[in-house]
């Protein structure tokens, strides 16, 4: 494993300053779209935890948090198959404005599964906020309503995103070095 403090070994995709700036813009957009209303932010554990914490503080309208956790069968670094719910919401979302908050939209399998599950509970509105989007990897048709940055078909770590559970604590988003990744 690479030491997260071993900065020079990692190539940055996005610096913490770029992340902060974009999250502020996303929070302002969401605050405008939901002016005068209340929102439930639903974070997808564990990857979205850090993005949700930052996004929530950039939102100026009243909001509450809830979390779901899923696991996908497949390789350690890619979701590639069936999605399974391992932690459900704590509270009902009927008639609420829900924003599903995800670190990265990749094949779309996770968010399609969660969107269908949450729509069955009849929220007033359901939006998706994904900090990163890899459109070239999509296997299911789904787009986020709020996207931080599009990115190419490559693997990143940091800002909540992991490789085999490590590197989530990197403050910048870095390219996964090929020698560790493969
Ligand atoms: P999807 O179901 O393929 O859209 O996968 C979404 C999940 O895959 C994300 O929430 C991440 O947990 C994981 N993932 C996809 N790409 C990356 C990446 O580049 N780095 C870290 N995790 C990733």
The three state secondary structure string of 27-55 is: HHHHHHHCCCCCEEEEEEECCCHHHHHHH
Confirm whether pTM is higher than 0.75: yes
Q: In this predicted model, what pLDDT tens digit does every residue of 127-137 receive, in sequence order?
A: 999 999 999 99
Mean per-residue pLDDT for 160-171? 95
Pocket test for ligand 1, best of 11, 106, 178 (most atoms within 8 A of CB): 106
pLDDT band at residue 177 using 50, 70 and 90 as cut-offs: confident
Mean per-residue pLDDT for 15-39? 98
Does residue 79 register a pLDDT over 80?
no
**Which active-site residues does the annotation give?**
106
List pocket residues of ligand 1, CB cut-off 6 Å. 47, 79, 102-111, 155-156, 161-162
Q: Which residue has the higher pLDDT, 179 or 135?
A: 135
Q: What pLDDT sits at residue 168?
A: 96
Q: Residue of the nearest CA to atom 15 in ligand 1?
A: 106
Q: What's the 2 CA to ligand 1 centre distance in angstroms?
A: 20
What's the longest Cα–Cα distance across the chain? 50
Q: Residue of the nearest CA to atom 20 in ligand 1?
A: 156
Contacting residues for 13 by C-beta, under 8 A, at least 6 apart: 151, 156, 172, 173, 174, 175
pLDDT band at residue 18 using 50, 70 and 90 as cut-offs: very high
pLDDT band at residue 81 using 50, 70 and 90 as cut-offs: confident
Q: What's the 33 CA to ligand 1 centre distance in angstroms?
A: 27
Count the Cβ atoms, other than its own, within 10 Å of residue 74. Answer: 14
Q: Which helix H or strand E contains 118, and what residues bound it? A: helix 109-119
Instruction: Look up the CATH architecture of domain 15-153.
Output: 3-Layer(aba) Sandwich (3.40)
- Tell which atom from ligand 1 comes closest to the C-alpha of 155: 19
Integer Cα distance of 69 and 58 in angstroms:
23
- Ordered by start, the domain boundaries in the chain are 15-153
């Amino acid at each position: 494993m690479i030491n997260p403090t071993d900065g020079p070994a990692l190539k940055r995709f996005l610096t913490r300053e770029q992340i902060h700036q974009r999250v502020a813009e996303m929070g302002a957009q969401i605050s405008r779209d939901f002016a005068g209303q209340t929102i439930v932010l639903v974070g997808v554990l564990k990857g979205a935890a850090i993005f949700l914490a930052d996004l929530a503080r950039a939102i100026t309208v009243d909001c509450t948090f809830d979390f779901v956790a899923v696991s996908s069968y497949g390789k350690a670094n890619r979701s590639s198959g069936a999605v399974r719910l391992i932690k459900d919401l704590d509270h009902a979302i009927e008639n609420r404005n829900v924003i599903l908050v995800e670190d990265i939209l990749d094949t779309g399998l996770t968010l399609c599964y969660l969107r269908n599950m949450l729509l069955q509970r009849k929220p007033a509105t359901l939006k998706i906020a994904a900090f990163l989007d890899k459109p070239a990897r999509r296997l299911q048709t789904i787009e986020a309503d709020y996207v931080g940055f599009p990115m190419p078909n490559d693997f990143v770590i940091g800002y909540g995103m992991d490789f085999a559970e490590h590197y989530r604590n990197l403050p910048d988003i870095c390219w996964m070095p090929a020698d560790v990744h493969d």
